[in-house]
Amino acid sequence: MTTTKDTANTAEEFDSEKAAEAVKDVAKKIRDVSRAVSNTVSTFTESGAITEMAEASRDAAVAARDTTRNVASAAEEIQKSGVINETAKAMDETVSEAAKAASVAKKAPGQFKRSAPKTTRAAKKGTKAVAKTSKKVQTAARKMAKKEIPKVKKNVQKMTKQAKSASRKMGVKLKHTARKKKAN
């Protein structure tokens, strides 16, 4: 229950004159801000800033589309050219040839020993050095092949995916080329 004394205190605290002034101040601020926004939009329009922004956005979209097409084309060319397969094949052949060289180098001391007994020590040293070097080459070639071929394939696949994704986002359809495997 509210007493007469409570009602009197509430009436004293609430002043309708002050409330009306506060509402008028808010209305004035709204008008001022509305005018400022309207003036800003007019200034942007008259200065050409909005048109400039629209044109810049268009230029960026066109550049992104063209770049995506170029990346897709480059990835396609790499895939078609067989560079990846040729690289892998060359590395495999390098490993194979290094193994052959190591095998020959291992057999050489025995052959030298039979044909030229006086030079056996020098020949052994030389063939051991060749064998050691060829093993290093073989090991390095294997490591390089294991390490680099997957990277190259992964990069080409990544570039192709990025190109396709970007072109899909822009609504550009790329031609699909079937992969042809070479029969060896």
CA angle 133, 134, 136 (to 5 degrees): 65
Task: Classify residue 24: in a domain, yes or no.
Answer: no
pLDDT value for 26: 94
The answer to whether the beta carbons of residues 68 and 172 sit under 8 Å apart is yes
pLDDT band of 180, cuts 50, 70, 90: very low
The answer to whether the beta carbons of residues 95 and 138 sit under 8 Å apart is yes
Distances from the Cα of 14 to the Cα of 11, 26, 178, angstroms: 5, 18, 82
Please tell me the distance from the alpha carbon of residue 104 to that of residue 94, in angstroms, as a whole number: 15
- Strand intervals (E) in 81-154: none
Task: Classify residue 142: in a domain, yes or no.
Answer: yes
- Range of 113's domain? 82-168
Which residues touch 134 (CB under 8 Å, ≥6 apart)? 98, 101, 102, 105
Number of domains in the chain: 1
Instruction: Tell me the average pLDDT across 123-136.
Output: 73
Task: Classify residue 75: in a domain, yes or no.
Answer: no
Task: Classify residue 154: in a domain, yes or no.
Answer: yes
DSSP element (H, E) containing 1? none
Which residues touch 75 (CB under 8 Å, ≥6 apart)? 156, 159, 160, 163
The model carries a pTM of 0.38
Task: Classify residue 60: in a domain, yes or no.
Answer: no
pLDDT (tens digit per residue) in 87-104: 878 888 888 888 787 777
Task: Classify residue 21: in a domain, yes or no.
Answer: no
